Structures are given as C-alpha cells and as structure tokens.
Amino acid sequence: MEFCPGCGMLLQIQPATGGNRLRFFCPTCPYVCPVKNKIVKKARLVKKEVEPIFSGDDSMKSAAKTATTCPRCHNGEAYYRQMQIRSADEPMTTFYKCCKEDCQLQWRED
C-alpha cells in the first residue's frame, strides 16, 4: 500500500491505457506518481495449527457421556461437548467422541 506524501490518503492505481503507463494517483489532491518497477508482493501463508476437539485423555474426565450410536463401531455411548461455533441465533454444535477404547472416533452434529 502506498500513501500520498501530501495529504496521507491511500493511493489508487490507474491502469495503463493507450501510451500511458501504470501510475498511482491520489483521489483527493493532484499527486501522481508513475510506477517504475513491477509491483510484486509475495506473502507466505502460515497455516493455523488444528487443535483436536478433545485434547488428551485428561479432558475426557470432565466431559459428559450420553447415549448415542457411534457411526463406525455402533457403540451406544459417547463423550460429548457443545460449543457455539456460528452466530448466536444458530443452534449449538454438539461434538462427540466414542467411549470405546479401540475406536475413539470423533464426529459432530449441527
């Protein structure tokens, strides 16, 4: 982003037309600056680390259990937590984790 040295406004880009070159111009004052170099901006995206819904075995000690069917092993009991992940007028999302030691599938219901 470039700013006008005279008034401090954000400069806008005027596209090249005809014989004119690409240039920056100020929308509020007569400042104009030709673009001499190629405009390139590279930014690395840093991916956010995804945290599991239930982190570790200790968090399961505080989670409540409910009678529901696991989609993978068809066990009849799962840990659950509810969180508001959308706007306040939407219903809460329920996250489940199968209680069976060899399954431990995690799923959610909106």
Q: How many other C-beta atoms are found inside a 10 Å radius of the C-beta of residue 70? A: 19
Q: How many Å apart are CA 37 and CA 24, to the nearest integer?
A: 12
Question: Looking at the chain, which residues constitute the CATH 2.20.25.10 domain(s)?
Answer: 1-39, 58-109
**Mean pLDDT of the 84-98 span:** 88
Average pLDDT over all residues of the chain:
83
pLDDT tops 80 at residue 38: no
- Residues comprising the binding site? 4, 7, 26, 29, 70, 73, 98, 103
**CATH number of the domain located at residue range(s) 58-109 in this protein:** 2.20.25.10
- Residues comprising the binding site for Zn(2+)? 4, 7, 26, 29, 70, 73, 98, 103
Per-residue pLDDT at 60:
62
Confidence of residue 26 (pLDDT cuts 50, 70, 90): very high
Range 1-39 classified under CATH 2.20.25.10: yes
Whether the CB-CB separation of 52 and 63 falls below 8 Å is answered with: no
Report field, pTM of the whole predicted structure over 0.75: no
